[in-house]
């Protein structure tokens, strides 16, 4: 929070902050640990999913007490990485259908009922998953009305051309923006 206050004070214009979760608490996860392969227990609409959605609101509430507001949140950082992650990495696995249902039944309504004007981004994973992921989530009218845009990572961009992923997705869902939310150099050790 002090670093965010410093950054906000130094900026000549307002900053658009977004937050992206890595994992839910261990008691909410199928493997009973914050690390390794695991999903949220149960299914969308149940107590685990509703509680996880309320964690987002509590997070936004607590930061707001310190005059830090978030322009957007993502439903999950790298949801498919949760299937392939090293054993010590904290992550939650979601399929596109699971993310759709979580957004439609839990996270979307929780954000809409809250006092926050925070937007919701979906995917937050490699663009190789587009347009499939967008078709599953945004193809559902309930989920689509809660989603402002698609968060995309760049690590596997060399595998799929932008026309097959970004452009195809934009043509299907022109009212939802595409935003690169994660990138770094040195990801591939051999390059």
- Domain map of the chain by residue range? 16-182
Residue 80 has φ and ψ, to the nearest 5°, of -85, -20
Q: Work out the burial of residue 109: count CB atoms within 10 Å of its CB; fewer than 13 is exposed, 13-18 middle, 19 or more buried.
A: middle
Q: Tell the residue number behind the tokens 């992650």, with chain if given.
A: 85
C-alpha pair distances (Å), 52 with each of 43, 45, 55, 63: 12, 11, 5, 17
| Domain covering 16-182 in this structure, CATH number | 3.20.20.80
Measure the CA–CA gap between 67 and 69, rounded to whole angstroms: 6
pTM listed for this prediction: 0.94
| Positions marked catalytic | 78, 182
Instruction: State how far the Cα of 155 lies from the Cα of 35, in Å rounded to an integer.
Output: 22
Angle at 32 between CA 30 and CA 36, to 5 degrees: 80
Per-residue pLDDT of the chain (191 residues), as tens digits, is 999 999 999 999 999 999 999 999 999 999 999 998 899 999 999 999 999 999 999 999 999 999 999 999 999 999 988 777 777 888 899 999 999 999 999 999 999 999 999 999 999 999 999 999 999 999 999 999 999 999 999 888 888 889 999 999 999 999 999 999 998 876 665 55
Predicted local confidence at residue 155, as pLDDT = 84
Selection from 147, 148, 16 nearest residue 69 by Cα: 16
Please say whether the beta carbons of 3 and 15 come within 8 A: no
In three-state form (DSSP H/G/I as H, E/B as E, the rest C), the secondary structure along the chain is CHHHHHHHHHCCCCCCCEECCCCCCHHHECCCCCECCCCECCCCCCHHHHHHHHHHHHHHHHHHCCCCCCCEEECCCCCCHHHHCCCCCECCCCCHHHHHHHHHHHHHHHHHHCCCCCEEEEEEEEHHHCCHHHHHHHCCHHHHHHEEEEEEECCCHHHCCHHHHHHHHHHHCCCCEEEEEECCCCCCCCC
């Amino acid at each position: 929070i002090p670093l965010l206050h410093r950054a906000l004070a130094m900026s000549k214009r307002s900053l658009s902050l977004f937050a992206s979760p890595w994992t839910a608490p261990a008691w909410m996860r199928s493997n009973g640990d914050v690390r390794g392969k695991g999903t949220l227990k149960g299914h969308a609409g149940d107590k685990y999913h509703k509680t996880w959605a309320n964690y987002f609101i509590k997070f936004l509430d607590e930061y707001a007490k310190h005059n830090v507001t978030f322009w957007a949140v993502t439903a999950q950082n790298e949801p498919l990485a949760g299937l392939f992650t090293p054993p010590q990495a904290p992550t939650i696995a979601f399929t596109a259908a699971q993310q759709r249902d979580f957004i439609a039944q839990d996270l979307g309504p929780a954000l809409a009922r809250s006092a926050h004007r925070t937007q919701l981004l979906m995917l937050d994973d490699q663009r190789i998953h587009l347009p499939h992921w967008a078709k599953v989530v945004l193809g559902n009218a309930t989920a689509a009305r809660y989603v402002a845009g698609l968060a995309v990572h760049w690590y596997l961009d060399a595998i799929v051309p932008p026309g097959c992923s970004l452009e195809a997705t934009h043509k299907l869902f022109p009212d939802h923006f595409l935003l690169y939310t994660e990138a770094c150099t040195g990801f591939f050790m051999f390059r």
